[in-house]
Structure 1
Amino acid sequence: MSAIRVTDLTKTFGRRPALAGLSLEIGEGEMVALIGASGSGKSTLMRIVAGLELGDQGSRVEILGRPMQQNGMLGSRARELRREIGVVFQQFNLVARLSVMTNVLTGLLGRIPRWRGTLGLFRKAEKDLARQALRRVGIEATLWQRASTLSGGQQQRAAIARTLVQRSRILLADEPIASLDPSSARRVMDTIAEINRLDGITAVVSLHQVEYARRYCRRTIALRDGRIVFDGPSQALSNAFLRELYGTASEELILPDGPAEPARAERPTDRIAAPPAVLAST
């Protein structure tokens, strides 16, 4: 079963098209990089897949085989499907004055009675789950600190821990390492890759840094002007190819050449073949 299927997705802001008839399919357990220059439509696509934004008439988005939205309207089970999608943003979206523990526990709000969430009444088993999630991302020692005291990399890992507590089956990470130093960026990408590998969670990671796509994801989807212009093996993303693909915008995406590491190994049961590379005309 597909984790995500998008069909004829169009989104227009005023007279400006952000997405233009985009279709794609991502299988369960894949870890896919989404790349493209600023304004290419990456964040808009992520928000629509997450059910935070509506596509235009004629668009359809399915999550785990069920309709999230169609023809500019949310599906009847959209609220239920949102629970299956954890979203990590560039700016972390933590409440600075609250403890790391409380921020992570907010991942449960869609799965517990609203009155308990409003009053912040979490059970011991739920707190143990949050502690376990923080241990998995390597920052358990910070659980009672205010979120504002964490470094950028630690805050992003706390945001990932929140998605673990949510027990989501899909992780959408929108520029999760854009504001981080290289060391913190690697730790965050290692964490996402480990969750994908061990838990089988489908991960879609929007990146400007193409070298991270090459190293961590077997498959990359590239957008330009709201259209898919590449969908194939990340190792095919040579600098020369990217310059041809993106023209003058390629300088925004390419890191210096270096030894390419193979994408992190998938579990034996997650052998989803990447589609062939496609270079579309625009």
Structure 2
Amino acid sequence: MTAIQVSNLSKRFGRTQALRDVSLSIGKGEMVALIGASGSGKSTLIRHLAGLEMGDGAASRIELFGRVAQSGGRLGPQAKELRGRVSVIFQQFNLVGRMSVLTNVLLGHLGKISRFRGTFALFNRTEKAAASAALERVGIAKTARQRASTLSGGQQQRAAIARTLVQRAEILIADEPIASLDPASARRVMDVLADVNARDGITVIVSLHQVEFARQYCPRTVAMRDGAVIWDGPSSALTNAFLGELYGASAGELVLADGAVPQPASATAPAHSPKQPVLEPA
């Protein structure tokens, strides 16, 4: 089953063409890395998938689980229900710092409870048990009563993932979730993302600057440049020569030497043929 189908998606902000006729299909249960230099269109694409932006032109279309989320610059009739099946994690964590970690995770129940209960944070025993189990799952159960602002960056990201588990989202989109983390914390966050993908069957799309994490954790990679998809295929097929062209002067900081990081045994190529990694002037 296809979880996400993007067709002819374009977006312009003033004179800037942020997305150029993007078409993309992601199957249910895939874990896909989204890579590209700053300004390549990754975050703009994510905002469209999350329903936060509308595409330009009559041909632009996004479907989730075979139903229209947006088409021709307008939300589909089932957009609200579909949005509840998608969770987005941002680099900034989006936790309420003054609230406890447990309460932040409990907010994943919003949309499934009455507005009255949500407004006054009136959660029942079953909902609290689900939030506690989610914190245990991501390895930070001991922080439940702490204010969210006291957590490290990596712990805050894991709390955000726990909130996704409580929400019971079927698509998890992570926009640069490890960009500001040290390597050990980044690996713990990626371990949790890989675990929820493998054990829960949640479709995971993760935008990354650290290409080695894409190679290690994501069987498939989509690369963008100037708002267009210029590579879509198995992460194991990405060469450092291609990545050097993609990232330019920044490549040395983002990519290790060939063979420095082993490929995961579970990595497999997608069923479709990858787009060839040819970088041509826009």
If the length of structure 2 is used for normalisation, what is the TM-score? 0.94
Aligned residue for 2:29, secondary structure, equals coil
Deviations 1:71-126 (A, max 9, x none): 11111111101111011100100000000011001111111111110111111100
Q: Which residue of 1 aligns with 2:23?
A: 23
Q: Residue 110 of structure 1 corresponds to which residue in structure 2?
A: 111
Map 1:52-71 onto structure 2 (within 5 A). 52-58=52-58, 59-71=60-72
Please say which of residues 244-253 and 103-112 is displaced more in the overlay: 244-253
Over 3 Å counting, the alpha-carbon distance change for 1:87 and 1:103 in structure 2 is: same
How far does the alpha carbon of each residue in 1:151-209 deviate from its partner, in whole angstroms, 9 at most, with x for none?
A: 11000000000000000000000000000000000000000001000111000000000
How many residues align? The count is 279
Greater shift in the superposed pair: 121-130 or 272-281: 272-281
Correspondences of 1:147-186 after superposition (within 5 Å): 147-186=148-187
Q: C-alpha deviations, 1:128-173, integer Å up to 9, x for none?
A: 0000100000001111100011111000000000000000000000
Counterpart residue number, 2:212? 211
Q: Distance in 2 between matches of 1:222 and 1:214?
A: 12
How far 1:258 sits from its partner (Å)? 4.8
Residue 257 of structure 1 deviates from its aligned partner by 4.4
Aligned-residue offset at 1:271: 8.9
**Segment drifting more, 106-115 vs 246-255:** 246-255
The alpha carbon displacement at 1:262 in A equals 2.5
Provide the rounded CA distance (Å) in 2 between the counterparts of 1:244 and 1:174: 22
Compared with structure 1, are the counterparts of its residues 204 and 142 closer, same or farther at alpha carbon in structure 2 (3 Å cutoff)? same
Question: Mind listing any 5+ residue stretches in structure 2 that lack a counterpart?
Answer: none
Q: CA deviation at 1:244?
A: 3.5
* Structural RMSD (CA): 1.8
CA–CA distance in structure 1, aligned partners of residues 53 and 216 of structure 2: 30
Q: 2:9 matched to which residue of 1?
A: 9
4+ residue stretches of structure 1 with deviation over 6 A? Answer: none
Contact 1:189 1:216 survives alignment (8 Å): yes
Q: What does residue 72 of structure 1 align with?
A: 73
> Which segment drifts farther, 36-45 or 47-56?
47-56
Percent identity (aligned): 62
Q: Which stretch of the first structure deviates more once superposed, 252-261 or 87-96?
A: 252-261
Q: What SS is found at the alignment partner of 1:244?
A: helix
Deviation larger for 55-64 or 226-235:
55-64
In 2, Cα distance between the equivalents of 1:260 and 1:216?
A: 11
Tell me, which stretches of 5 or more residues in structure 1 are unaligned? none
Pair 1:92-2:84 in alignment: no
Q: Distance in 2 between matches of 1:27 and 1:227?
A: 20
**2:42 counterpart residue number:** 42
Check conservation: 2:234, 2:269, Cα contact below 8 A: no
Amino acid at match of 1:50: A
For the Cα contact (< 8 Å) 1:33–1:219, is it kept in 2? Answer: yes
- What is the TM-score normalised by the length of structure 1? 0.94
Tell me how far 1:56 sits from its aligned partner. 1.1
C-alpha displacement at 1:276, in angstroms? 2.3
1:5 is aligned with what amino acid?
A: Q
Report the Cα distance in structure 1 between the residues aligned to 2:260 and 2:27, rounded to whole angstroms.
28
User: CA deviation digits over 1:55-84, x for unaligned, max 9?
Assistant: 112310111111111111111111101111
Matches of 2:209 and 2:257 in 1, distance apart? 13
